[in-house]
A and B are shown apart, each in its own frame.
Chain A
Amino acid sequence: MTNLQTRYLAEFEMPRVVPLGPNLYAAAFFLMKLLPARYILERALERGDICEGTHICETSSGTFALALAMITARMENRLTIVSDWALEPTLKRRLVELGAEVEIVTQAHPHGGLQKARLDRLNEILAQSPSHFWPRQYDNPDNPRAYGSVAAKLVDRIGQIDCLVGTVGSGGSLCGTASYLRLLFPDMVVIGVDTINSVLFGQPDAPRLVRGLGGSVIPSNVDHTLIDEVHWLSAAEIFQATRQLHSQTGLFMGPTSAAAHKVASWWAAHNDDKTVVILMPDEGHRYADSAYDDDWLNSKVPRWRSVCSDRPVTITNPHADLAQWTRLEWGRRPRSDVIAQSL
């Protein structure tokens, strides 16, 4: 396998750098996951973990699945994606057209929910394939490691960076980019944006409407000791922000991009001598029938238009019941320390 076969989409991997204000820049990706997907596959090929006939399997219902399918479209290897009902029909059609086999799990695990049921199914498939590779974006250190080239583009275009803001899902993009930038700017502030009811930074686990950030299990790729400040946003706030980002800046991005933008704009306005960069993971096309559809929003989040939040509430106990935009000074502590100190 040569670089040509894995890197032909390289031009799509890098973000566009968009100056949004005197001290505020967006790093707007077409499909951010193309970068870690390519990097993970390339390293696996180098180490011999993927050879001819290796079956690549992953559980995902989002952009990581799409990125894997786009890159493996030119490879001979089988790709299986395990997903659940949340996989949108349009995305499923694309995955299938790209040659991926899509397995839909319908029955939730009695204790571990759909996430556990998907993992169980994935393990069954892996057991059937003597030669298999599981990219494991949540735990594979190659995911955060992929972001050195993003850090490179940002410093080439912007120079000194004082604050990096991004949503946290697998932890790859924010922790990866931050760890590279911190080598150059040890004092850089890192702000993680999560959604209410996500356990990543200590919220109690409960159903969440917005995909692509937060989670019910803590990925090992989230390095809590890199994070200075955590913000939680409600679904209504995130969807409203998505529409405002589009109407006010012209950037047609997904909900996670808007969540990061909302927090970053506030921080940048209060620190006008600091240069702030926002990671924006994907474009809005996938959300045309959800976040960008008034009827869908009105039925799912009736308050999305009227919610009014222009600043966060500050708390010290991450386990608190939250209804609106909230922040906590994380202070680069391990997660267990923050939980213990708030009891």
Chain B
Amino acid sequence: MQGVFDDACFQRYRGLVTFPCRHLQTHAIFVPNSSHAVTISPGTKEKARRAAALTLRQISRQDQGGNVEISSTIPIGRGMGSSTADVLATIQAILDRFDVAWSMEEIMHVAVEAETACDSTLFSQVAVLFAQRGGIVLEAFDRALPKIDIISVDCEPSATVSTLDFEPALYNEFEVEAFKPLRSLLRRAVRQGDAGLVGKVATASARINQRFLAKPRLDELEKIAAASGAIGLQVAHSGTLVGMMFDHLSPNRDVSIERAAAALEQAKFSFTTFAA
């Protein structure tokens, strides 16, 4: 779910709830050296380099040079939070190296500064509604999201979207109000562990956001989802991926996933399956 949400004082923020995918990981190691500059390998990860410099300054070691080595299995530019993972792993690697402990808030503060907008990747115990541009938690839900299997479909395999280039959505007044029931239903879904309701919220959010970062062939995917017994669709807020969602605990799960995969194959979509 992604939209605009009020905090307890009616202050409005852009916020999102992201879906955790434990199979995709990023590792970072910080190796200090005698230089005064931080380098990153691979060298293209500019946001991670910025995060490294900011972290060193925060812990008063701005003259410390070194190299951060990042290895990641997260696809880049697909809206799967690859750069947030790079940034968070980098910050943590430096903190580990110097044996410094930060609160989640301190880590998020540096991550947002390095990235402009970042995901709620750090919060894994409970689902959170996260203001990605302020780096604050608007609402922590009672539990983690219920277990959901995903078929990840790439709608536009040739394109990538950078978080920094992406123009934030300008929601109209109806859409602003519509996020209130979406948020409420998600709260209930998490409280009750109801994957089906999570799917309805994700689908509604996908439809609202279609006006801003249109996913080609979303209608087609909705039909396949409905026909195969998927519980909904979730979209990458900045990226080209659409996730077809399946209730991990449903007895029909395997049949549904097989049916959806066959239909996607036939419609010539490229996709990957991730079990919860």
CA A43 to CA B200, docked complex, whole Å: 29
Contacts A156-B188, A159-B185, A183-B208 given; indicate if A3 touches B180 (C-beta within 8 A).
no
Contact check, A159 vs B188: say whether CB atoms are below 8 A apart: yes
Q: Give which listed residue, B10, B173, B192, B200, contacts A145 with CB less than 8 A.
A: B173
Contact check, B178 vs A148: say whether CB atoms are below 8 A apart: yes
Count CB-based A-B contacts (< 8 Å). 62
CA A3 to CA B162, docked complex, whole Å: 37
Chain A residue, CB-CB nearest to B191: A156
Contact check, A185 vs B177: say whether CB atoms are below 8 A apart: no
Q: Is B197 an interface residue (CB 8 A)?
A: yes
Q: Is A333 an interface residue (CB 8 A)?
A: no
Chain A residue, CB-CB nearest to B226: A186
Smallest distance from the beta carbon of A1 to chain B beta carbons, Å?
Answer: 13
CA A61 to CA B120, docked complex, whole Å: 51
Contact check, B180 vs A160: say whether CB atoms are below 8 A apart: no
Interface residues of A in 140-185 (CB under 8 A from B): 142, 145-149, 151-156, 159-160, 179-181, 183-185
Q: Is B244 an interface residue (CB 8 A)?
A: no
Contact check, A152 vs B184: say whether CB atoms are below 8 A apart: yes
CA A179 to CA B181, docked complex, whole Å: 11
Q: Give which listed residue, A3, A43, A183, contacts B178 with CB less than 8 A.
A: A183
CA A5 to CA B207, docked complex, whole Å: 35
Contact check, B201 vs A152: say whether CB atoms are below 8 A apart: no
CA A159 to CA B180, docked complex, whole Å: 14
Chain A residue, CB-CB nearest to B208: A183
Specify which of B10, B176, B196 lies most central, judged by the most chain A CB atoms within 10 Å of its CB: B10
Contacts A43-B173, A155-B181 given; indicate if A183 touches B204 (C-beta within 8 A).
yes
- Say which size band chain B's interface belongs to: 20 to 34
Contact check, A155 vs B204: say whether CB atoms are below 8 A apart: no
Which residues of the partner chain B approach A185 to less than 8 Å between Cβ atoms? Answer: 200
Which residues of the partner chain A approach B208 to less than 8 Å between Cβ atoms? Answer: 183
For A173-211 the 0/1 string (1 means CB < 8 A from B) is 000000111011100000000000000000000000000
Give the dominant DSSP class at A's interface.
helix
Smallest distance from the beta carbon of B171 to chain A beta carbons, Å?
Answer: 12
Chain A residue, CB-CB nearest to B180: A152
Contact check, A184 vs B200: say whether CB atoms are below 8 A apart: yes
Contact check, A152 vs B192: say whether CB atoms are below 8 A apart: no
Which residues of the partner chain A approach B200 to less than 8 Å between Cβ atoms? Answer: 160, 184-185
CA A146 to CA B194, docked complex, whole Å: 28
CA A152 to CA B197, docked complex, whole Å: 14
Contact check, A156 vs B187: say whether CB atoms are below 8 A apart: yes
CA A159 to CA B185, docked complex, whole Å: 6
Which residues of the partner chain B approach A151 to less than 8 Å between Cβ atoms? Answer: 180-181, 184
Which residues of the partner chain A approach B176 to less than 8 Å between Cβ atoms? Answer: 148
Which residues of the partner chain A approach B188 to less than 8 Å between Cβ atoms? Answer: 155-156, 159
Contact check, B180 vs A183: say whether CB atoms are below 8 A apart: no
Which residues of the partner chain B approach A7 to less than 8 Å between Cβ atoms? Answer: 10
Contact check, B181 vs A148: say whether CB atoms are below 8 A apart: yes
Q: Give which listed residue, B181, B196, B197, B201, contacts A180 with CB less than 8 A.
A: B181
Which residues of the partner chain A approach B173 to less than 8 Å between Cβ atoms? Answer: 43, 142, 145
Q: Give which listed residue, A3, A145, A159, contacts B177 with CB less than 8 A.
A: A145
Contact check, A184 vs B204: say whether CB atoms are below 8 A apart: yes
Which residues of the partner chain B approach A180 to less than 8 Å between Cβ atoms? Answer: 177-178, 180-181
Contact check, B185 vs A155: say whether CB atoms are below 8 A apart: yes
Smallest distance from the beta carbon of B73 to chain A beta carbons, Å?
Answer: 34
Smallest distance from the beta carbon of B222 to chain A beta carbons, Å?
Answer: 10
What are 25 A-B contacts with C-beta separation under 8 Å? A145-B173, A145-B174, A148-B174, A148-B176, A148-B178, A148-B181, A149-B177, A151-B184, A152-B180, A153-B184, A155-B181, A155-B184, A156-B184, A156-B185, A156-B187, A159-B185, A160-B196, A160-B200, A181-B181, A183-B181, A183-B204, A184-B182, A184-B185, A184-B204, A185-B200
Seed contacts A155-B184, A156-B185; 19 additional CB < 8 Å A-B pairs: A3-B10, A7-B10, A142-B173, A145-B173, A145-B177, A147-B177, A148-B174, A148-B176, A148-B180, A149-B177, A152-B181, A152-B183, A180-B177, A180-B178, A183-B178, A183-B207, A184-B182, A184-B200, A185-B200
Residues of A within 8 A of B (CB): 3, 7, 43, 142, 145-149, 151-156, 159-160, 179-181, 183-185
Q: Which 5 A-B pairs have the closest CB atoms?
A: A148-B177, A151-B181, A152-B180, A156-B184, A152-B184
Residues of B within 8 A of A (CB): 10, 173-174, 176-185, 187-188, 192, 194, 196-197, 200-201, 204, 207-208
